Structure 1
Amino acid sequence: MKICFLGGGNMTAAIAGGLARQGGWQLHIADRSAEKRERLARELGAATAETLPALTAADVLVLAVKPQDMAAACAAIETNGALVLSVAAGLSVAALSRMLGGTRRIVRVMPNTPAQIGLGISGMFAEPKTSVADHDLADRIMRAAGQTVWLADEAQMHALTGISGSGPAYVFYLMNALFEAAQAQGFDPETAKRLVSATFQGAAELAVQTDADFAQLQKNVTSKGGTTHEAVETFKAHKVADAIAAGVEACVARSQEMARQADAV
């Protein structure tokens, strides 16, 4: 069995990297960039080429190209019954099936960038008729890059994109805001980055290791009339939570729009 990646970008590097660390997988990566091919071959020990090798029903094809490039990229592909995993945002199983000559042996995946260090979480959807073996194989592949969550309804992929798929960007946005605030308070950039990174890392790990919900964890740090209380009340006055919710809604709406555009092709 070969695991073949179409596209040699960051997500391919993350997933294939996790599989390479596990060992026992036959990896092939197709990308037009000679520089990317050389780097991935060197770092992962994967076979690389400008085009995909011939596929069989025993193989897995991971589609890791931009959504707007997917139709052109799939035009010359003969899946020959291979299991297809797509990490392209907004492209439905139906749209992918049309691009791939009618195959329905497709699993949609929405990973996120912490997959690069094995700490990602991937939302996954497969049609109910998907075999248990295909379901389990897709799950094994994506668990090489972190956790997995299976969705019963494909429409939920849009909401998942708005939460975890794009979520790391929201976290980095907040981290950068706190980083800039730290410098405004007189810290040098190196110290500011250490303070912010350790604060987010520690808070996230505390949330993982406790049964308390996020709201309670925030209350545990917030004494009425204290310093943290002043900051939180200021956030509320500026409607920070509302702005985050609006951002998520905008992300979900864009994902839905991309899906409609793809379905119209």
Structure 2
Amino acid sequence: MHKTIVFIGAGNMASAIFGGMIDGGHPAESIIATSPDDTLLTPLRERYGIRTNTDNAVAVSEADVVVLAVKPQIMCQVCEPLRDAVQDRKPLIVSVAAGLEAATLEGWLGGELAMIRCMPNTPSLVGAGASGLYANPRVSAEQRELAGELLSAVGLVEWVDDEALLNAVTAVSGSGPAYFFLFFEAMEEAGVKLGLPRETARRLALQTGFGAASMALKSEHEPAQLKRNVMSPQGSTERAIQHFEDAELRQIVEGAMQACAARAQEMAKDFSK
């Protein structure tokens, strides 16, 4: 029998996850999505065949897994009214909200719960996500496997043993798509200055990024070796890479990611107050 998965919140991330689950064979009737506005739920029922409910507590009363998929700013007001239903049912709790620590969420829901925090990223919306997961000590091996299957519906899943490492995950993959979008933007602008039409420069930059990532994922070589494979001695690529190195690109990237991780840690402290 398939587990009943309840999504508290029916936005883009939630629909990406349960859409991927259904594509992977999970029965739609075992998925419930909630929202206070039924007009948001109607198209999801029609498209995916899932069940929906405008009452979070009623939905939770039959849940094996509850996925918390609302914005961090409103998570407390969503969770506290669910305390009794969650404590009666004791489902696995999976949070995809950034910056909210497991202990904070547990406190709002009454404590003593199996809790998994997930840091997904926006490419999950197109099935190409990268998610970092942390499980508290009450999560069983079966629940851990179930959560991995749930999040792998939208991409790669990597587990961390220390919750604090989710800040590093945020710096690498959670915020990482924006780094690449900035790089694509810069490549497009440079291409235009070199004489290419803007649309041509954009398509070439985006396809090159897609191709490079695809090649790196499939290759037995690490990125450093793949980089060297493109570089001919005293050639044009070598000249470009040397310019990046002289401009201390590595230090710029490290500094940006350190700032990102530090801000994620600050946000967690703010939300816990």
Aligned to 2:23: 21
Aligned to 1:91: 100
Aligned to 1:75: 80
Offset from partner CA, 1:232-265 (integer Å, 9 cap, x none): 22222322221111111111001111111233x2
In the alignment, the residues of structure 1 paired with residue 42 and residue 192 of structure 2 have an alpha-carbon distance, to the nearest angstrom, of 40
Aligned to 1:161: 170
Alignment of 1:1-265 (within 5 A): 1-23=3-25, 24-25=27-28, 26-52=30-56, 53-56=58-61, 59-77=64-82, 78-79=85-86, 80-263=89-272, 265=273
Tell me, yes or no, if the aligned pair for 2:53 and 2:59 is still in contact at 8 Å.
Answer: no
Equivalenced residue count is 264
In the alignment, the residues of structure 1 paired with residue 37 and residue 18 of structure 2 have an alpha-carbon distance, to the nearest angstrom, of 17
Percent identity over paired residues = 39
In the alignment, the residues of structure 1 paired with residue 19 and residue 105 of structure 2 have an alpha-carbon distance, to the nearest angstrom, of 25
In the alignment, the residues of structure 2 paired with residue 54 and residue 36 of structure 1 have an alpha-carbon distance, to the nearest angstrom, of 16
Tell me, yes or no, if the aligned pair for 1:57 and 1:83 is still in contact at 8 Å.
Answer: no
In the alignment, the residues of structure 2 paired with residue 174 and residue 159 of structure 1 have an alpha-carbon distance, to the nearest angstrom, of 21
TM norm structure 2? 0.89
Per the alignment, in what secondary structure is the counterpart of residue 229 of structure 1?
helix
Query: One-letter code of the match for 1:16?
Result: F
In the alignment, the residues of structure 1 paired with residue 197 and residue 42 of structure 2 have an alpha-carbon distance, to the nearest angstrom, of 38
Per the alignment, in what secondary structure is the counterpart of residue 125 of structure 2?
helix
TM norm structure 1? 0.92
In the alignment, the residues of structure 2 paired with residue 188 and residue 166 of structure 1 have an alpha-carbon distance, to the nearest angstrom, of 29
Q: CA deviation at 1:46?
A: 2.2
In the alignment, the residues of structure 1 paired with residue 36 and residue 236 of structure 2 have an alpha-carbon distance, to the nearest angstrom, of 55
Q: CA deviation at 1:58?
A: 5.0
In the alignment, the residues of structure 2 paired with residue 34 and residue 172 of structure 1 have an alpha-carbon distance, to the nearest angstrom, of 35
Tell me, yes or no, if the aligned pair for 2:132 and 2:158 is still in contact at 8 Å.
Answer: yes
Per the alignment, in what secondary structure is the counterpart of residue 134 of structure 2?
strand
Tell me, yes or no, if the aligned pair for 1:123 and 1:157 is still in contact at 8 Å.
Answer: yes
Which stretch shows the higher mean deviation, 216-225 or 241-250?
Answer: 216-225
Tell me, yes or no, if the aligned pair for 1:22 and 1:144 is still in contact at 8 Å.
Answer: yes
* CA RMSD of superposed structures (Å): 1.8
Tell me, yes or no, if the aligned pair for 2:113 and 2:138 is still in contact at 8 Å.
Answer: no
Query: One-letter code of the match for 2:67?
Result: V
Gaps of 5+ in 1: none
In the alignment, the residues of structure 2 paired with residue 57 and residue 209 of structure 1 have an alpha-carbon distance, to the nearest angstrom, of 41
Change (3 A) 1:55 1:7: closer
Gaps of 5+ in 2: none
Q: CA deviation at 1:115?
A: 1.4
Which stretch shows the higher mean deviation, 158-167 or 24-33?
Answer: 24-33
Q: CA deviation at 1:134?
A: 1.0
